[in-house]
Amino acid sequence: MVGGAVAVSLVNGAGRGKQPSLAQLRAFAAVAEHLHFRDAAAAIGMSQPALSGAVSALEETLGVRLLERTTRKVLLSSAGERLAVRTRAVLATVGELMEEAEAARAPFTGVLRLGVIPTVAPYLLPAVLRLVRERYPALDLQVHEEQTSALLEGLGAGRLDLLLLAVPLGAAGVAEIPLFDEDFVLVTPQEHWLGGREDIPREALRELPLLLLDEGHCLRDQALDICREAGRGADSAPVTTTAAGLSTLVQLVAGGLGVTLLPRTALQVETGRNDRLATGYFAEPAPTRRIALAMRSGAARQGEFEEFAVALREALADLPVRVVPDAD
């Protein structure tokens, strides 16, 4: 009887005790992120008393103190800092489980969180939105416009599902689906000697006063790479960082402050509103950039995203780009 009692206590005792609930883990993750009960409760749509009770219940279940509460602020304990990392990982895994189940039930349904870089969003989104509306009406498309580094962080953290951006990325754990290549075009003031030319040698970039986007935009890095390939060095005309967006950039060009490089898809939108601008085209082979979809390697919805890429290539056929074949 003594042996049997010991066996029962091992089965039902602390070694096999209560398990944390997902609600408790979500509450703790929110508090760990915001370090404020009111903000955390608002972020996950829970009342503040319920949030506080969920975190207290989690502490009791785990047998450790996760938070240090004062009248003014909330801090993570040393144990809380370590377990917050585990908590986020558990919630991300649960999210992937739900995503995989949703994709298995019915492709192109539910939420698709698409991240797009600012130098693509205004010019390609009309075609993307039209495609989703006409072919995938049950898909809840949510668009997030951010710079490349933020998009990759969001993809890795599970905040985003799919990215539309310039490649190559060189990011571990990210798979790319090429869509198209597009040329860069030189945009100049109306009276500039290169305005209207269709055979501009790349070497002309060595001495031009070049205006570029602020640091952090991949388009800036691509333009600087093109300039380096053209032989632009430290003794060349200065490169000026002046604008956070392409619309501002072309207005500065129109004002005579310099010239800039635009991707071909942006040309009509950004230059069509100003008659003080001229465009010039490079001799072949023109400098280009590649636009692609990017997803987490082995994503649960990989087949769905690949099918979406095929449909998107078709939808972009009228744009001045060179579509990349499937086998590329």
For 41-79, how does the pLDDT look when each residue is reduced to its tens digit (9 = 90+)? 999 999 999 999 999 999 999 999 999 887 678 899 999
Residue 234 has pLDDT above 50, yes or no: yes
Q: Are 310 and 181 in a shared domain? A: yes
pLDDT digits (tens, 9 = 90+) for 249-265: 899 999 988 899 899 99
289 with 224, same domain?
yes
Task: Identify the domain boundary among 67, 102, 137.
Answer: 102
Residues 136-152 pLDDT 10s: 998 999 999 999 999 99
Domain that holds residue 58: 2-102
Cβ neighbours of residue 277 under 8 Å, at least 6 residues apart?
A: 187, 188, 189, 190, 250, 253, 254, 271
Question: 123 and 35 in one domain?
Answer: no
Q: Which of 16-20, 194-198, 240-244 has the lowest average pLDDT?
A: 240-244
Mean pLDDT over the full length of the chain = 86
pLDDT for res 10: 33
Quick one: how far is CA 195 from the chain centroid?
35
Q: What pLDDT was estimated at residue 1?
A: 40
Is the confidence at residue 110, as pLDDT, over 70? yes
* Domain end marker among 79, 102, 125: 102
250's CB contacts (< 8 A; 6+ apart) are 187, 260, 262, 270, 271, 274, 277
Rg (CA), the chain: 26
Looking up residue 18, the CATH number of its domain turns out to be 1.10.10.10
Q: Greater confidence, 2 or 219?
A: 219
What per-residue confidence (pLDDT) applies to 11? 36
Residues 212 and 294 in one domain: yes
pLDDT of 126: 93
> 109-113, 231-235, 310-314: which has the minimum mean pLDDT?
231-235
User: What is the number of domains present in the chain?
Assistant: 2
pTM of the model: 0.68
Q: What percent of the chain has pLDDT over 90?
A: 54
Residues 213 and 234 both lie in one domain: yes
Rounded mean pLDDT of 268-285? Answer: 89
Asked which of 80, 102, 124 is the last residue of a domain, the reply is 102
| Same domain? 252 vs 169 | yes
Instruction: Give yes or no: residues 97 and 242 share one domain.
Output: no
pLDDT digits (tens, 9 = 90+) for 73-107: 889 999 999 999 999 999 998 988 887 777 666 77
Confidence of residue 206 (pLDDT cuts 50, 70, 90): confident
Per-residue confidence (pLDDT) for residue 112, from 0 to 100? 93
Residue 81, pLDDT score:
93
Q: How far is the C-alpha of 257 from the C-alpha of 192, rounded, in Å? A: 11
78 and 144 co-located in one domain:
no
Identify the band that residue 3 occupies on the pLDDT scale cut at 50, 70 and 90. Answer: very low
Q: Is a pLDDT exceeding 50 seen at residue 292?
A: yes
Residue with the bigger pLDDT between 113 and 110: it is 113
